[in-house]
Amino acid sequence: MQKTKTYVSDTVSRLQPSGIRRFFDLAASMEGVISLGVGEPDFITPWSVREACILSLEQGYTSYTANAGLWELRKEISDYLARRFEVLYDPANEIIVTVGASQALDVSLRAILNPGDEVIVVEPSFVSYAPLVALAGGVPISIQTSGKHQFKLQPEQIEQVVTPKTKALIICSPNNPTGTVLNREELAQIARIVAKHDLLVISDEIYAELCYDEQYTSFPAIAHMRERTILINGFSKGFAMTGWRLGFIAAPKDLATAMLKIHQYTMMCAPTMAQYAAIEALQNGAGDVEEMKKSYRQRRNFFVQSLNEIGLSCHMPGGAFYAFPSIQSTGMTSEKFAERLLLEEKVAVVPGHVFGASGEGYIRCSYASSLEQLQEAIRRMKRFLERL
Amino acid sequence: MKLSEKELEIVELLEKHARLPIDTMAKMVSLSVSEVEHIIKKLEEAKVIVQYATIVDWRKVDGHEGVTAMIDVKVTPKRGVGFDEVAERIYRFPEVKSVYLMSGAYDLSVVIEGRSMSEIAHFVSEKLSTLDSVISTTTHFILKKYKHDGTVFEQGDQDRRIVVAP
């Protein structure tokens, strides 16, 4: 008998494929493209880290680790969080090593959501938040931040969308795609609203190492927030380790215990070889991170100033490696602008609307490319704008 | 002479790329062109910036090889890969400038540059001697620089990233 129905669940059927995909296909089919569309460092993982992984393989460390991750790595993570961000987590039962920050988000949401619970997503945002909420049975509720506020979440915006069903708020600072950093005072204001409504905060701090102008504040370092925060971080961005797929969760014991149940049944543990590499990264990688950060900062300064000079208004992003200039002066939609820029000048950028409705009128440009490529991209974009 | 953060940044940029256009550099360090020009002039006068040198890969020019420290390494070759594997393991360290397979009393000749003798000693004792295949090392210090402040002579790897990613 022929099959007469789809076997795909309603939840998955309703999910939209990522808007980035279309541009990837188009750009990948062209020659000579300068891509400012890449959401990852242009550095290769430091050799000492790669070498530590090779050594672990040679020594035959190829079996599972503890579900939560190697004890030595969890201890290093605990020390790192205390040293760099002044937040304290017990490596014995408050830290879980995950397969990238992405899995950390997935596990976090599945651990906290009952069907119909609402999760506030601050847009423009990383493309996975809302789909992950939906997959976990929750309902994503978006807040649209505005270019007028440099895309900083205004605390009263939380009040406007909070309902009795609101369970959690996802924040990401420094932000992908806007590069915006929330400082201690701004986080403290958010904390007051969060406490008032008894919300949990999932703080995605994957870009924390790449914060250029001021001391970074981790959300659980704000008074009384540790008990209601799931801290997510990892090695991908700061340590240039995207392909290793290694992240971690730090959370109070009750939450970590719940998340570990899911992690144990779905993932068993993060890849062992990557965990050994991560130990080396935390023990000896600070100098490499500092060098990479300095290089990003210089390229940011060059690129953002150049964008403003050629007529694309752009706020100075405090962190990550993204510039998020406005293209409203051209009268085009983000999609049209990105498509024409790619076809006519072979510069790939990501149209802002794929990160949320408030991203319309903006494009995301990654400046994690060589200075020469950035200079050439600016020349091409200038030519493009002058022709319009 | 104590340099400000911006002055230090300009010196480091020039040291890596002496031909970097002033206007580009000004943007990178968030100063005006005239401020950068002023700083460079001041540093030149103070002889902090002594000379704008070109780094030449003399390995490509016959008869012009030079080194900082040369280490004679005895190793055990492995079946199937011979000396290649251990040689690769050693030459991937960025402080290592070259690795040669030698005839005679030892197997590999490693050229390495460090900031101090102790840095090289650390490399030899921590990284090199600890490799399984390495039987012994003998270190000679010589006086020719091979890498200047992070500038590696070899071409960087091509960009392997996918074109667009979230």
How does DSSP classify residue B154?
S
* Whether residue A181 sits in one domain with residue A64: yes
Please state the separation of Cα B125 from the chain's center in Å: 20
Q: Which chain B residue's Cα is nearest to A349? A: B164
CATH of the domain at A234: 3.40.640.10
CATH of the domain at A320: 3.90.1150.10
> Higher confidence at residue A322 or residue A19?
A322
* Whether residue A219 sits in one domain with residue A93: yes
> Higher confidence at residue B103 or residue A74?
A74
Q: What is the pLDDT of residue B66?
A: 44
* Whether residue A154 sits in one domain with residue A171: yes
Which residues of chain A make contact with B22, given a CB cutoff of 8 A? none
Domain boundary among A285, A300, A329: A285
> Which among B28, B157, B165 is the nearest to A302, CB-wise?
B28
Q: Which chain B residue's Cα is nearest to A126? A: B166
Alpha carbon distance B111, B119 (integer Å) = 14
Domain boundary among A243, A263, A285: A285
CB B110 within 8 A of CB B90: yes
CB A361 within 8 A of CB A352: yes
* Whether residue A216 sits in one domain with residue A303: no
Mean pLDDT of A284-307: 96
Residue A372: inside a domain? yes
Nearest Cα neighbor of B29 from B2, B51, B11 is: B11
Range of the domain at A141: 60-285
Cα A382 to Cα A18, A267, A349, B159, distances in angstroms: 29, 48, 14, 24
In sequence order, what are the residues at sequence separation of 6 or more whose Cβ sits closer than 8 angstroms to the Cβ of residue B111? B67, B68, B69, B70, B71, B96, B97, B98, B99, B146
> Which among A38, A51, A306 is the nearest to B163, CB-wise?
A38
Average pLDDT taken over every residue of chain A: 96
* Whether residue A207 sits in one domain with residue A256: yes
Cβ–Cβ of B28/A18 closer than 8 Å? Answer: no
Alpha carbon distance A261, A274 (integer Å) = 22
pLDDT over 90 for what percent of chain A?
Answer: 94
> Which among A298, A348, A375 is the nearest to B164, CB-wise?
A348
CB atoms within 10 A of CB A344: 12
* Whether residue A180 sits in one domain with residue A120: yes
CB A133 within 8 A of CB A140: yes
Alpha carbon distance A98, B18 (integer Å) = 44
Distance from CA of A133 to the nearest CA of B (A): 17
Q: What is the pLDDT of residue B56?
A: 64
Lowest mean pLDDT among A22-26, A155-159, A383-387: A22-26
Residue A2: inside a domain? no
CB A313 within 8 A of CB A326: yes
* Whether residue A20 sits in one domain with residue A66: no
DSSP states of A3-55 as a string?
--S--S-HHHHHPPPPTHHHHHHHHHTSSSPEE-B--S-SSPPPHHHHHHHHH
Which residues of chain A make contact with B92, given a CB cutoff of 8 A? 47, 51
> Which among B94, B132, B165 is the nearest to A39, CB-wise?
B165
- Taking the CA atoms of residue A303, residue A152, residue A132 and residue A70 in that order, the dihedral angle to the nearest 10 degrees is 70
Three-state secondary structure string covering A216-256 = CCCHHHCCCCHHHEEEEEECCCCCCCHHHCCEEEECCHHHH
Q: Which amino acid is at A372?
A: E
Q: Which residues of A touch B (CB under 8 A)?
A: 18, 20, 23-24, 27-28, 33, 35, 37-40, 42, 44, 47, 51, 54, 58, 126-128, 176, 291, 294, 298-299, 301-302, 305-306, 348, 350, 369, 371, 375
Q: How many domains does chain A contain in total?
A: 2
Domain-by-domain residue ranges, chain B? 5-45, 62-141
Residue A54: inside a domain? no
Domain boundary among A285, A308, A331: A285
Structure pTM? 0.83
Q: Supply the ipTM of this predicted assembly.
A: 0.71
Backbone angles phi, psi at A144, to 5 degrees: -100, 110
pLDDT over 70 for what percent of chain A?
Answer: 100
Distance from CA of B29 to the nearest CA of A (A): 6
Residue A140: inside a domain? yes
* Whether residue A360 sits in one domain with residue A218: no
- Taking the CA atoms of residue B10, residue B16, residue B22 and residue B26 in that order, the dihedral angle to the nearest 10 degrees is -40
Tell me the pairing of strands A229-234 and A247-250: antiparallel
C-alpha angle A84/A88/A90, rounded to 5°?
125
Mean pLDDT of A155-176: 98
Mean pLDDT of A77-104: 98
Cβ–Cβ of B161/A33 closer than 8 Å? Answer: no
In sequence order, what are the residues at sequence separation of 6 or more whose Cβ sits closer than 8 angstroms to the Cβ of residue B35? B26
* Whether residue A197 sits in one domain with residue A111: yes
What are the pLDDT tens digits along chain B (166 aa)? 899 999 999 999 998 888 999 999 999 999 999 999 999 999 999 999 988 877 666 557 665 444 478 899 999 887 777 888 899 889 998 889 889 998 888 999 998 877 778 888 888 998 899 988 899 999 987 654 445 445 665 655 577 777 777 7
Mean pLDDT of A74-100: 98
Residue A21 has pLDDT above 80, yes or no: no
CB B124 within 8 A of CB B139: yes
Alpha carbon distance A378, A79 (integer Å) = 42
Q: Which residue has the tokens 């790329």?
A: B17
* Whether residue A291 sits in one domain with residue A359: yes
CATH topology of domain B5-45: Arc Repressor Mutant, subunit A (1.10.10)
Q: What is the pLDDT of residue A201?
A: 98
* Whether residue A293 sits in one domain with residue A315: yes
Cβ–Cβ of B165/A47 closer than 8 Å? Answer: no
- Taking the CA atoms of residue A307, residue A308, residue A309 and residue A311 in that order, the dihedral angle to the nearest 10 degrees is 90
Q: Which chain A residue's Cα is nearest to B24? A: A302
* Whether residue A313 sits in one domain with residue A344: yes
The DSSP bridge partners found for residue B72 are: B109, B138
Residue A91 has pLDDT above 50, yes or no: yes
- How do residues A214-253 score in pLDDT, each as one tens digit? 999 999 999 999 999 999 999 999 999 999 999 999 999 9
Q: What share of chain B is helix, strand, coil (3-state, %, to 5)?
A: 35, 20, 50
Cβ–Cβ of A37/B165 closer than 8 Å? Answer: yes
CATH topology of domain B62-141: Alpha-Beta Plaits (3.30.70)
Which residues of chain A make contact with B132, given a CB cutoff of 8 A? 58
CB A198 within 8 A of CB A67: no
Alpha carbon distance B118, B120 (integer Å) = 5
Q: Which chain A residue's Cα is nearest to B23? A: A302
Mean pLDDT of A41-68: 96
Q: What is the pLDDT of residue B157?
A: 57
Q: What is the pLDDT of residue A66?
A: 97
Distance from CA of A1 to the nearest CA of B (A): 42
